[in-house]
Amino acid sequence: KNQVEQSPQSLIILEGKNCTLQCNYTVSPFSNLRWYKQDTGRGPVSLTIMTFSENTKSNGRYTATLDADTKQSSLHITASQLSDSASYICVVRPGRSGTYKYIFGTGTRLKVLA
């Protein structure tokens, strides 16, 4: 069964610290993996999208990594800011022809404290 699991479920860090969020998936075949940021009460906004051939992709202070062999991805946030407080959702797009569904993780809720 195609699944996306994220850890930790929630995380609290102090402003200025770094953190890493994890995403493990069982989706096969695999087409791409996306990380979204969802502020409370808002829709998800795309941070990165990586295909199976990409290992790393950055977007400002956000760096996503992908290991297609172990089916793991991580999102590293550098020098966190209060505005980073949000849910971060990992989304996998299967690669099977004719499959158009996105498989969503349940998200990691990050709280950055001053």
Partner 1 sequence: EAGVAQSPRYKIIEKRQSVAFWCNPISGHATLYWYQQILGQGPKLLIQFQNNGVVDDSQLPKDRFSAERLKGVDSTLKIQPAKLEDSAVYLCASSLDRTVHRELFFGEGSRLTVL
- Give residue for tokens 């992908």: 66
Neighbours of 44 (CB within 10 A): 18
- Alpha-helical (H) ranges within 1-114 are none
Pair type for strands 62-67 and 56-59? antiparallel
Q: Does 61 bind partner 1 (CB under 8 A)?
A: no
Subset of residues 72 to 91 that bind partner 1, contact rule: CB under 8 A = 89, 91
Does residue 93 belong to the site contacting partner 1 (CB under 8 A)?
yes
Nearer to partner 1, 18 or 56 (CB): 56
Q: Which is nearer to partner 1, 36 or 62 (CB)?
A: 36
Asked if 7 and 19 count as a contact pair (C-beta separation under 8 A), the reply is no
Residues in the site for partner 1, rule: CB under 8 A?
Answer: 4, 31-32, 34, 36, 41-46, 49, 51, 89, 91, 93, 95, 100-102, 104-107
